[in-house]
Amino acid sequence: MRREDFLRDMDELLELDPGTLTGREALADLASWDSLAVISFIALTDEKLDTVIDGESLAKAATVQNLLDLLGDRLAA
């Protein structure tokens, strides 16, 4: 999946206007990044990328880019 398309899915997940997220955002600055968003992120990667991100590494992510890094080469530039 393309990084860009995944960011658009994350926009939708966080109820942001399409095209909002770039990757540089700090998660703490995103009002809609809450515990349910975390669970929804796990469901999203499971559904779209067929991978289960473990909760402990998710808890360590500080930026949107950190989240994308967890997906490794499943995201194409």
Partner 1 sequence: MASFDLGGRVVLVTGASAGIGRATAGVLAGLGATVIANGRDQGRLDATVAALPGGPHVAAPFDLLDIDAIPAWLKGLAADRPLHGIAHCAGVQVSRAVRQFDVAHFDQVMHANLASALALARGLRQAGVHAAECAMVLVASVGAYIGQPSNIVYGASKAGLIAAARGLAMELLRDGIRVNAVAPALVETDMAERTRRTMSEAQFAGLLDRHPMGIGKPEDVAHAIAFLLGDGARWINGITLPVDGGHLAR
**In the complex, which residues of this chain contact partner 1 (CB under 8 A)?**
13, 15, 35-37, 39-40, 42-44, 52-56, 58-59
| Secondary structure E strands in 1-77 | none
CB of 14 to partner 1, least distance (A): 9
* Smallest distance, partner 1 to C-beta of residue 15, A: 7
Task: Determine phi and psi for 2, rounding to 5 degrees.
Answer: -75, 140
Question: Which residue carries 């700090």 as its tokens?
Answer: 26
**Identity of the amino acid at 61:** A
To partner 1, the closest distance from the beta carbon of 13 in angstroms equals 7
